[in-house]
Amino acid sequence: MGTSRLKDPRRVFAISAGAYLGLVLCYIVSVIATVPYPESIRALMNQPNYSIFALIVFPWAVGLFAISVNPALFGKKYRIGHIFLALALLLVLSIINVDAQEKGPPHLPFHFAHPTTDALRESIACAETRRRGVLADTIKPEVALSEYKKCVAENLGIDESDVQRFDGTADFLARGSLVAYVDYVYTAAAAMFGTVYFWYLFFLRFTRQPLSPKVKDRLLLVYLFLLIWIPTRIYSIWYQSFFSIPEVGHSIPIVTFAGAASLVLLLLIFKPGPVMVIISVAEAILSSVAGIIGVTKPEYFLVLGELFDDMHIYSFLVIELMVLLTLMAVVSQHFDFFDDQATTQMEPSKIQEPPESVA
């Protein structure tokens, strides 16, 4: 792609956002192709970290960040910063590679390669029957989880511990399904984006680069969008764990408070307008409350579990459309995709040449 094309913000926005949107669409299609209907739709509705955050929120964050970055930072003068970025990306990928821990939520049945469609249906039926039992208060979550792992293990001829996690990359490639492969690729790509985003903020602060008010608002808005991942992921972990929070979930409040604290730090650095401050503080509070409830009172989420269990796909599509329109309205205040005059030139941060000691 030529340099002139990189100066077209709409092209940059569309390519960057479209790349991540394409990845999450691959995940959704793989679930629909692998899991029989209507269980496939129910599974997607109960994974709001994909059906809401990844599908609708995350692409906007990626696009806004892409048009806020100055390509000059990829010059040779910043090679030391590039080395730190490469090391951070390698560290993140290594963490993701061992992320499936024994204390985390069990894998969903369609994350495993089943020998036959009937075996997959039986594993899904085991999970759904026990989830409905928990919702009806006829079975405890820990009992439902134990019975689910036993059922899937019998269907696949494996140990129950193997339902909890994959034992390394070789085991993942041998027993994982297409859905699991796509899930890993998307998770790795999303984590790499988050790493690049925080590295960029550190780079700007370390080199004391000036930022225009518009770029400051865009970068802050990107973080607000990323923060939405926390409550959606909490619900997904709770759903996978049969409406309970596993031991690894006790770190959720730490992640939540770290996210809220980082947001406050960005507010102090960027000093945005009053409207952005109010929105930021409100989201930080809501995310923190969601994290606390997720660990201390996870049973409060049962209302959502019952809602999604009975919800028709068209009702869920309406919810997604409402979220999409709301985000479009918010983003249009900082980047009007349809205004030719407003998008004729990029307005990135004005990167200055670093001193020789930094280079």
> Which tens digits make up the pLDDT trace of 249-260?
555 555 665 666
Burial 93-118 (b: 16+ CB within 10 A, else e): eeeeeeebeeebbbbbbbbbbbeeee
Q: Please report whether residue 185 resides in a domain.
A: yes
pLDDT in tens, 122-180: 999 989 899 888 888 888 888 998 899 999 888 888 888 788 788 777 888 888 899 99
User: Please, which contacts does 149-153 make with residues 24 or more away whose CB atoms are closer than 8 Å?
Assistant: 149/106, 151/122, 151/123, 151/126, 152/109, 152/112, 152/123, 152/126, 152/127
Q: Please report whether residue 343 resides in a domain.
A: no
Q: Please report whether residue 348 resides in a domain.
A: no
Q: Please report whether residue 209 resides in a domain.
A: yes
Q: So what's the pLDDT on residue 272?
A: 64
The SS3 call for residue 98 is coil
Point out the residues of the chain with pLDDT beneath 50: 1-4, 100-102, 342-346, 348-349, 351-359
DSSP label of 336? -
Non-local (6+) Cβ contacts of 315 within 8 A are none
**Of 39, 49, 101, nearest to 236 (Cα)?**
49
Give the Cα separation of 204 and 331 in Å (integer). 23
The count of structural domains within the chain is: 1
Query: In which domain, by residue range, is 218 found?
Result: 3-332
Question: Cα-flanking dihedrals φ and ψ of residue 354, to 5°?
Answer: -75, 155
List beta partners, residue 112. Answer: 176
Q: So what's the pLDDT on residue 60?
A: 92
